[in-house]
Amino acid sequence: MLLHSSDHENRTGFATPVHFLNWTMSPDREIFSLPIYHKERDMSTPHALKRTEATIETVADIASRLAPGFAEGAATADADDRFVAENYKALKEAGLVEAGVPVELGGRGADVAELADMIRIIAQACGSTGLAFSMHTHQVAIPAWRWRHQKVAAVEPLLKRIAAERIILLSSGGSDWIAGSGKAQKVDGGYRITGRKVFTSGAEAGDILMTGAVLEGETPAKVLHFGVPMKAAEVRVEDTWHTLGMRGTGSNDVVIDGLFIPDANIAVARNSGEWHPLFQIIATIAFPLIYAAYLGVAESARDIAIDLARKKPANQHMINLAGRMETSLRLAQIAHRHMLSIVEQNAPSAQTVNEIMIGRTQVARNAIDTVELALELAGGAGFYRSAGLERRFRDVQGARFHPLQQGPQAAYTGSMALGLPVDKVF
């Protein structure tokens, strides 16, 4: 977790440390911290500059300020299957829409670890807001990374627009993974697009859907990638999101019916069903942000359970449940920290995808275990909706369904271990 520390100026070459919170009930609720090393940071950064940086409100600080308001409305949004629109308004007003845009382009310049901390804090208060906003956030973080590390100038206009207009980007990754979905028909000057994009979190608040479609008549099949303006007449949102959990994400279907995309607007063309270097970047950067939301849900469930358990006389069964819960949470936190350490290598590849997906499986498994144990530790009191645990129990189940799910992840990791090809394992 990226928080300011009184001794961070003495950690030469390190950013603000990652603090692992919620492990004990000590006054500052902190046990130890893991510093994040920035290879590109000038080791001779003046202390005066460091002190100036320390006084600036971080994206985590802003998220913490907004969190109580998000928590107040979380139960109502869940009960009503209502998108957390007011929370998105607050995120815009607070400047978090542009959190990941480089400072040089008008944004706040937060790196992936800082963005993950922001998402985790938001999700502690409202899982739906955290998960939905992670989809926008990773769609910003990816071009920001490409601009910074690959010097890709083509992404600069989009990043500047995000900062200036605070537009919301949508992701259709759930329906557009490696195989792609939808149809692209070649016409004069461009392509005619049709398709249904499911699991489009925050659809009603979005300005641009970052998506793709499979080009008809090509062998091997090609997937074209482009942005879809959500206000286009050929685009509509269908109310389909009535689910077990994460009900406030508004992850409705987006239907595209004959939208024209000019040739010049095609960002990438790749083979369907094969890993592409761009998707190695996407997988490496996006999933630590997405799974920060589930980690936040698990951390808040732990806190609720501890508060409820302390109101009862302790017995050995409770103590064992608490110990198992803490262990599961720690494993989720450690796995997530490993994911962030892979991002910090700034070298997306088949190998980094493997490590990220191992981490994704471990965060999911242990976050789910944490919340299940929290519910058991809380006892009957946790069964009431008013406690907030049952919502978190439902919300955390979503961690099962993002790629790579456990079967494909095991196949990818096993193939990598045995030296077998992974280019078509997804």
Q: Which helix (H) or strand (E) holds 406?
A: helix 406-417
* Helix locations, 268-401, DSSP H: 277-309, 316-343, 350-378, 389-396
Task: Output DSSP code: residue 37.
Answer: B
pLDDT at position 173: 72
**For residue 401, which phi and psi values (nearest 5 degrees)?**
-105, -5
Angle at the Cα of 383 (from 382 to 387), degrees rounded to 5? 50
**pTM for the complete prediction?**
0.87
Q: What is the pLDDT along the chain (426 residues), one digit of tens a residue?
A: 333 333 333 322 323 333 333 332 233 333 333 333 233 333 233 333 333 444 589 999 999 999 999 999 999 999 999 999 999 999 999 999 999 999 999 999 999 999 999 999 999 999 999 999 999 999 999 999 999 999 999 999 999 999 999 999 999 877 789 999 999 999 999 999 999 999 999 999 999 999 999 998 889 999 999 999 999 999 999 999 999 999 999 999 999 999 999 999 999 999 999 999 999 999 999 999 999 999 999 999 999 999 999 999 999 999 999 999 999 999 999 999 999 999 999 999 999 999 999 999 999 999 999 999 999 999 999 999 999 999 999 999 999 999 999 999 999 999 999 999 999 999
Rounded-to-10 torsion of CA 352, 149, 285, 117: 120
Structure tokens at 400: 């099962």
- Fold match between domain 8-168 and domain 170-271: no
- Dihedral sign computed on CA atoms, order 205, 105, 270, 347: negative
Looking at residue 218, its amino acid is E
User: What's the CATH superfamily of 170-271?
Assistant: Butyryl-CoA Dehydrogenase, subunit A, domain 2 (2.40.110.10)
| Coil vs helix vs strand at 341 | helix
- For the chain, the domains span 8-168, 170-271, 277-417
pLDDT at position 174: 73
List Cβ<8 Å contacts ≥24 apart for 351-357. 351/416, 352/280, 352/283, 352/284, 353/275, 353/280, 353/283, 353/284, 353/412, 353/422, 354/412, 354/413, 354/416, 354/422, 356/283, 356/284, 356/287, 356/288, 357/283, 357/287, 357/404, 357/409, 357/412, 357/413
Structure tokens at 421: 């090809």
CB count within 10 Å of CB 351 equals 15
Whose tokens are 């600069």? That residue is 156
- For domain 277-417, the CATH architecture is Up-down Bundle (1.20)
CATH of 8-168, one of 3.30.210.10, 1.10.150.80, 1.10.540.10, 1.10.10.60: 1.10.540.10
| Coil vs helix vs strand at 11 | coil
**For residue 213, which phi and psi values (nearest 5 degrees)?**
-155, 155
Looking at residue 201, its amino acid is S
Whose tokens are 């994704």? That residue is 360
pLDDT at position 88: 98
pLDDT at position 2: 30
Structure tokens at 416: 């990598």
pLDDT at position 145: 98
pLDDT at position 69: 98
Distance CA 147, CA 72 (A): 38
Looking at residue 194, its amino acid is T
pLDDT at position 216: 85
